[in-house]
Structure 1
């Protein structure tokens, strides 16, 4: 048994196994949440969480000090189309200048593919926005899944994994990934605070975004390992 486990460890790296678990878990979580989203009436979990962010008896007023709403708007902006597009374009341009076309293609495919997937999933479920509380941000699309949550997961996890490849030690790589996860979490939470998404919309966005980002990472890792120059340091991916 020990020899078998040792052989498996030699063939399957821990981080690759974790990535596959995230893909599988994300897909499972999204399917379960999609069933909740298709119900005609909102789930009790959604209602309770959404109201927890509002002053009791006044669903138009969010909890917290007067400056909190402005801070949350700034955070949610980090998951907006303009910011994510700029970060993606800047990263792709840098990779092209650094003569890493495979990595540039990886970033483009992951983020652009995530955008297309998010739009298709919204049309597939056709869930309206919450009407339980007032919206503190302008919204014009369908609710499920949260585009901000999904695309921030795709973009920041993709860029975080790419940046981690050049970090000099494990602690630095963990730090970069943690910052990417924290940004994704805060952006999703901001959408609930602003009342523009049900909590299950955000959870589904995180599930789909993380699964897509990890799937793209696995594919890119396999492709980049075959690049003569770009594939040399892929063991640090």
Structure 2
């Protein structure tokens, strides 16, 4: 039953992303995207303390930051002799970088110009790389940590990961470097990739247990 449910969720993520990508490429989301950027930015059109805080927050999704987090996590897993988990974590994290690059190349969407950009960005806009990569890495990290934590701690950890992921996505819109649909698309791809990797990891664990028995 769990496998069928996961397959349905995977199809849902893929279907929603396909529809969103079609709408974006056909230009049907322009008005909604412009409204979303102005809504998130609000009246603030100049750099201030809030902008500085959000600029610092968005660094949690930088490639270098995520690479450090991923490599540190992999190192800890190897040190704890959890090589299978380390391999899957590294593959999933690296995959998020590859998926980002290929997706941006494939869609080639222009960055927003409706507000001043408070951050530098040179690659294509759709999907948001910061959002996609951070969603994958921090969700995976939460999954790894919660395997041995208490139920109460699990809730705190997952809520913290979700807060970072959501805040990072919204920060890209606030800073004027992404459309809201860039962020939504990134979350959909991340959800699909995460579930795919989670299922692969669990199947690998099951096969290893059978071989040991």
Pairwise same-fold verdict (TM > 0.5): yes
Q: Contact 1:55–1:61 at 8 Å: present in 2 too?
A: no
Equivalent position to 2:170, from 176, 189, 196: 189
Equivalent position to 1:28, from 8, 15, 38: 15
19 and 163 in structure 1: CA distance in 2 versus 1, 3 angstrom threshold: farther
How many residue pairs match? The answer is 212
Q: Contact 1:157–1:210 at 8 Å: present in 2 too?
A: no
Matches within 5 A, 1:223-234: 223-228=204-209
Equivalent position to 1:220, from 198, 201, 204: 201
Q: Contact 1:20–1:215 at 8 Å: present in 2 too?
A: no
Determine if the alignment matches structure 1 residue 108 to structure 2 residue 108: no
38 and 83 in structure 1: CA distance in 2 versus 1, 3 angstrom threshold: same
How far did residue 173 of structure 1 move?
A: 2.1
Given the two structures, how large is their TM-score scaled by the length of structure 1? 0.82
Task: Report the equivalent of 2:189.
Answer: 208
Q: CA RMSD in A?
A: 2.3
Distance in 2 (CA, whole Å) between partners of 1:19 and 1:155 is: 20
Equivalent position to 1:76, from 31, 43, 58: 58
SS of 2:46's partner is strand
Distance in 1 (CA, whole Å) between partners of 2:118 and 2:192 is: 29
Equivalent position to 1:61, from 36, 42, 46: 46
User: Which structure: greater helix fraction?
Assistant: 2
Q: Contact 2:41–2:175 at 8 Å: present in 1 too?
A: no
Distance in 2 (CA, whole Å) between partners of 1:164 and 1:55 is: 37
Distance in 2 (CA, whole Å) between partners of 1:187 and 1:17 is: 31
SS of 1:92's partner is helix
Determine if the alignment matches structure 1 residue 151 to structure 2 residue 133: yes
1:87-138 residue CA offsets vs partner (Å, 9 max, x unmatched)? 0000001111111110100101101011111111111111010111111001
Task: Report the equivalent of 1:99.
Answer: 81
Given the two structures, how large is their TM-score scaled by the length of structure 2? 0.91
189 and 213 in structure 1: CA distance in 2 versus 1, 3 angstrom threshold: same
SS of 2:207's partner is coil
Distance in 1 (CA, whole Å) between partners of 2:173 and 2:11 is: 25
Task: Report the equivalent of 1:51.
Answer: 38
